[in-house]
Amino acid sequence: MAGVYSVEKECFDDPYPLQLLDDLVDIERNRFLIAVESGKVVGYSVGTSNGHIVSVAVDPRHRRQGIGTRLLSAVIRQIMQDGTKEIYLEVRKGNTSAISFYERMGFRISSEIRHYYPDGEDAWVLRRPAESPLPNNI
């Protein structure tokens, strides 16, 4: 888990605690996916059986290589196997690159959560039907 936690700290100003990540691995075993390159963790994604994408994180030095797309697509497929009808996630309103990424993956803004993040920033809730096709380039 050290590699996953390292990516988490690199990607987020308010990283999830290591204990939460450990718990997610135990609880969401089939929906906690890790990308490894040359023996080093470069990204991870985790979702829940009820369709919540908890996190998608790719080490900044490994972005724009399709890792996030493959991780998110794989988690969506796993969630679909659980029979979930809709997949959703939260994203910082100011994180325009992440919002664009999620929109390319078929998510659409559905609502807002005020003061969602510890620093007070608001979040968008993005949703997509589970059965919607994934991008063809993966």
Q: Domain 2-129 is classified in which CATH homologous superfamily?
A: Gcn5-related N-acetyltransferase (GNAT) (3.40.630.30)
**Chain position carrying tokens 């369709």:** 51
pLDDT in tens, 47-83: 999 999 999 999 999 999 999 999 999 999 999 988 8
Give the pTM.
Answer: 0.90
Helix, strand, coil shares, percent, the chain, to 5: 35, 30, 35
- Residue 55 and residue 25 in contact, taking contact as beta carbons nearer than 8 Å: no
Tell me which amino acid residue 21 is: L
pLDDT of residue 136: 59
